[in-house]
């Protein structure tokens, strides 16, 4: 457990160094150079296209679905008889067929994309907000707070290390079981998992920035330490945090689907969400395995898009690769 925690901690600390700009770099800003390199990276382009399509479907798609996501069309028409093992597949009117309750799978996939995006974004924002608060206080205390600041930093980081020592899925399941099954619970549970990652990442980045020449110059001019931290150090420390937020969206979608699959998500199965759809399909794998394949492919492809873009951003911000 200690070795695993150390590896996770070292990986996060390494990412905190990726946004550090060398003193001999002039003329082109960090983000301009990173964007220029992203445009030449095939993985970044593929990831951006996947995410653009996913967001478009999630935001606009539910307004154009051919059928209601909760409408049991197949049962009303008498074509779906799940008790007898009859669940029709794709047709001209129903592109992905019916589910076990006679609902149009294509419409539920499109509407479920919005729920999946909502869970991923909200849970990431929760982790980012809480983690940035803890990491910002720890980083400012360690870099600019003197002896008492180092004590505050040490106390906060021991709490963060305790969270990092726990497997992410186990921590999410524990939080979800404690709060009870609901969509809000899933968002909070997945958000809690990402808190220590954002906290340690921002803290490491701020400590690196605290040793920069502009901080020394501002201190020499008599600028208050709190103002230096808020107006100078924090803005220059956010690049690796933004990269990590992109990567966290991928894991958030997977972990949210896992919690829903385990029955800790939204108890109302009539509200389509890819993790819930995957769980509902398990009893019918022998009859129509495609009911599980569709949401599984959606989760995998979406997570792949976020991962490709996040890894490309990480490489674009790596100081060792800048010229």
Within a domain: 21: no
pLDDT digits (tens, 9 = 90+) for 291-312: 999 999 999 999 999 999 999 9
The helix/strand/coil state of 30 is helix
Angle, alpha carbons 193-199-200 (nearest 5°) = 105
86 lies in a domain?
A: no
Q: Is residue 252 part of a domain?
A: yes
What distance in Å separates the CA atoms of residue 21 and residue 65, rounded to the nearest whole number?
Answer: 48
Contacts of 93 (CB under 8 A, 6+ apart): 66
Whether residue 138 is contained in a domain is answered as yes
pLDDT under 70: residue ranges of the chain: 1-8, 10-30, 318-323
CB atoms within 10 A of CB 17: 15
310/115 Cα distance (integer angstroms): 22
Q: 3-class DSSP state for residue 104? A: strand
Task: Assess if residue 11 is contained within a domain.
Answer: no
Q: Determine, yes or no, domain membership for 105.
A: yes
The pLDDT value given to residue 226? 81
In a domain, 268, yes or no: yes
Q: Report the number of distinct structural domains present in the chain.
A: 1
Helix, strand or coil, per DSSP, at residue 81: strand
Per-residue confidence (pLDDT) for residue 3, from 0 to 100: 63
> Which residue is associated with the tokens 């051919």?
66
Eight-class DSSP state of 98: B
Q: Which two tokens stand for residue 179?
A: 């709060």
Whether residue 83 is contained in a domain is answered as no
- pLDDT (tens digit, 9 = 90+) per residue, 172-185? 988 988 988 888 99
The Cβ of residue 176 has, within 10 Å, a number of other Cβ atoms equal to 26
Give phi and psi for 55, each to the nearest 5: -65, -40
User: Given this model, what pLDDT does residue 17 score?
Assistant: 59
**How buried is 213 (Cβ within 10 angstroms: 0-12 exposed, 13-18 middle, 19+ buried)?**
exposed
Tell me the C-alpha distance between 243 and 52, whole Å.
Answer: 17
Please tell me the predicted confidence (pLDDT) of residue 111: 93
What is the rounded distance in angstroms from the CA atom of residue 207 to the CA atom of residue 17?
10
Tell me the CA distances in angstroms from 222 to 214, 215, 217, 226, 228, one per residue in order.
13, 11, 9, 12, 10
Query: Can you give the residue range of the structural domain that contains 108?
Result: 30-78+94-321
**What integer pLDDT is reported at residue 25 of this predicted model?**
47
CB 226, CB 290: distance < 8 Å: no
pLDDT for the residue 46: 95
**CATH at residue 128:** 1.10.3720.10
> What is the residue whose two structure tokens read 């008889």?
81
Check residue 319 and give its pLDDT: 60
């Amino acid at each position: 457990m200690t070795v695993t925690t150390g590896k996770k901690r070292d990986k996060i600390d390494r990412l905190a160094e990726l946004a550090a700009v060398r003193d001999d770099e002039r003329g082109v800003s960090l983000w301009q150079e990173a964007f220029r390199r992203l445009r030449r990276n095939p993985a970044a382009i593929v990831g951006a296209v996947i995410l653009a399509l996913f967001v478009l479907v999630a935001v606009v798609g539910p307004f154009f679905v051919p059928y209601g996501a909760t409408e049991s069309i197949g049962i009303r028409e008498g074509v779906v008889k799940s008790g007898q093992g009859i669940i029709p597949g794709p047709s001209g009117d129903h592109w992905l067929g019916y589910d076990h309750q006679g609902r149009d799978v294509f419409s539920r996939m499109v509407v479920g994309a919005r729920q999946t995006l909502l869970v991923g974004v909200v849970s990431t924002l929760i982790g980012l907000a809480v983690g940035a608060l803890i990491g910002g206080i720890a980083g400012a205390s360690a870099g600019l707070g003197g002896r008492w600041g180092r004590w505050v930093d040490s106390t906060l980081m021991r709490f963060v290390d305790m969270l990092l020592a726990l497997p992410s899925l186990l921590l999410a399941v524990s939080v979800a079981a404690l709060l009870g099954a609901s969509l809000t619970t899933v968002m909070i549970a997945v958000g809690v998992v990402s808190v220590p990652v954002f906290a340690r990442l921002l803290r490491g980045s701020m400590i690196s920035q605290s040793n920069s020449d502009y901080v020394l110059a501002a201190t020499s001019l008599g600028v208050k330490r709190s103002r230096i931290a808020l107006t100078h150090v924090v803005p220059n420390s956010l690049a690796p945090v933004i990269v990590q937020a992109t990567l966290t969206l991928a894991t958030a979608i997977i972990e949210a689907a896992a919690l829903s699959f385990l029955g800790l998500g939204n108890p109302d199965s009539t509200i389509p969400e890819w993790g819930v759809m995957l769980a509902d399909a398990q009893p019918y794998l022998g009859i129509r395995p495609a009911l599980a394949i569709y949401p599984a492919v959606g989760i995998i492809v979406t997570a792949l898009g976020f991962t490709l873009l996040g890894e490309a951003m990480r490489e674009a911000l790596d100081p060792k690769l800048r010229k």
